[in-house]
Amino acid sequence: MNDKYRPVAWACLTALVLAGLRYVPPYLLEQRKLDQQDRVLDLKELMYLKQNAVRTDAAPVPAAQNYSSGSQWL
């Protein structure tokens, strides 16, 4: 008798898991749509920065410092 319950239990468990994987709550669908829109905006921003050659990683170069030739005490 135990031999029949095991395959039936696996079949029921598999059916439940597959049914659960197919169901996606509405808030997750909305979050996915917002994530895709965010990625599109990121790509547009990247293309804009490349077209206008705006460097975001360049640090300003400090002005030249004129020091006296002698040693300095700090």
Single-letter amino acid, residue 9: A
Interval 8-24: pLDDT, tens = 889 988 988 888 777 77
Interval 22-72: pLDDT, tens = 777 888 889 999 999 999 999 999 999 888 875 556 666 666 666 665 655
Position 23 scores a pLDDT of 77
Single-letter amino acid, residue 4: K
Q: Which residues of 42-66 are buried (b: 16+ CB within 10 A; e: fewer)?
A: eeeeeeeeeeeeeeeeeeeeeeeee
